[in-house]
A and B are shown apart, each in its own frame.
Chain A
Amino acid sequence: MTYSYYPGCTLKTKAKDLDHYGRLCAEALGITLEEIEEWQCCGAVYPLAQDEIATRLSSVRTLMAARDKGQALVTLCSACHHVLTRVNNDMAGNDNIRTKANNYLQPAVPYAGETRVLHYLQMLKECVGFDELAKKVVNPLKGRKIGAYYGCMILRPAKEMAFDDPENPTIIEEFIKALGAEAVVYPMRNECCGGYVTVKDADLAKKRVAKIMHSAKDKGAEELITACPLCLYNLQANAGADAVPVTYITELLAEALGLK
């Protein structure tokens, strides 16, 4: 199976491990990820204001590139996934945004949200299946107690993201179990890490992360995994005494598949 792949700005720089192991594991699982050519940054935050058109255009270009190849579009970064999914929904269902974006871009074939946007985890679940994935594990992570940190962007708002139950998600826990480890469920796994506010107000992020780490540790998690580079940064840089190690989902996958 071949997918279009959008890495995004951070996966080419600070989050190279998220990208590198994601590609390596996909290849080992028989999935081809074709990077979109000349992709541009998605903007990292979805433009909520209805009259912000120009800030949606880079995502539209990416979505069109996948449409022109007839492929579904896979992302790893939670923020990219959030932005691309919601701009795609706008192009499918919002006449004003669709008309203006097409007027700006003047594509040979107007775009109306035809591309299917998938997160890497959804791709694994659909294309491989977690039962099949478990059979391909060569280095089962037995005895490891791992907490999923979902954060905000891949879950909410659920009516748009359609990723998982926003209050009781299970996909990362299924993933952890498939790799042979114990999935630790803790209350703060879908609460915000502080996000971009850390740039101006690291203390706010520290308060958020302290609560998340305390919650995870209290339930017995000895490590956390995430799909979001900004979550990883906040969970590492803004953690206090309760800190547990945090890695990317793809690093854990590579470890279990014997690729790391």
Chain B
Amino acid sequence: MHFDQKETANLITRMSGTDPKKCMKCGKCSASCPSFDEMEYHPHQFVSMVVKGDVERLLASKSITKCLTCFACVQRCPRGVEPANLIEAVRVTALRQQGTCYLSPDDVPAIVDDQIPQQALVSAFRKYRK
């Protein structure tokens, strides 16, 4: 299937409901990110790569599964760029276009204990699977 990076980047931007071009590259998003060390591409890179239309690498990266959606970047961005919304839009696009799923119901019994709250499983399935 033909993959148009620019077109996909535009789709991601529309889906995110935010304007990454407002970024002034202060780096507060990545400085605030609790998953910074876990990510190959950091929040500020998601912002700049979506602007450049360089999204294929983001779609293939494990970084989209490491965002905790804690909204620290959203809260602390002085320009209202909302990096978490962009990361989510990349993740949703990967799930929709590639049918990738990072969590299967069959995985669950082996990886959870009997105290895990339903909230964790519902959230994880919403984030990792379509």
Taking a contact as CB atoms under 8 Å apart, the answer to whether B72 and A192 are in contact is yes
The answer to whether B53 has its CB under 8 Å from any CB of chain A is no
**In the complex, which of the residues A50, A191, A204 contacts B15, with contact meaning CB atoms closer than 8 Å?**
A50
Give the Cβ gap from B95 to chain A, nearest Cβ, in Å. Answer: 10
Chain A contact residue count (CB 8 A cutoff): 44
Least CB distance, A221 to chain B, in whole angstroms: 20
Total contacting residues, chain B, CB less than 8 A: 41
Return chain B residues, CB-CB under 8 Å to A237.
Answer: 113, 115-116
Q: Mark B105-117, 1 if CB is under 8 A from A, else 0.
A: 0001001110111
- Which residues of chain A come closer than 8 Å to B92, judged between CB atoms? 49, 52
Given that A14-B116, A50-B16 are known contacts, is A195 also in contact with B68, CB under 8 Å in the complex? yes
Hey, which chain A residues are within 8 Å of B127, CB to CB?
Answer: 45, 196
Cβ of B128 within 8 Å of any chain A Cβ, yes or no, is yes
B15 touches A196 (CB 8 A): no
Residues of B within 8 A of A200 (CB): 65, 102-103, 111, 124, 128
> In the complex the two chains form, what is the Cα distance from A90 to B127 in whole Å?
20
Decide if B21 is an interface residue (CB 8 Å cutoff).
no
Q: Which residues from chain A sit less than 8 Å from chain B, CB to CB?
A: 8-10, 13-15, 41, 43-45, 47-52, 55, 77, 79, 152, 155-158, 166-167, 191-192, 194-201, 204, 208, 229-230, 232-233, 236-237
- A195-B68, A232-B117 given; name 17 further pairs at CB < 8 Å: A10-B117, A10-B119, A14-B116, A45-B122, A49-B16, A52-B92, A55-B126, A156-B70, A157-B71, A192-B72, A195-B70, A195-B120, A199-B103, A199-B116, A199-B123, A201-B65, A208-B34
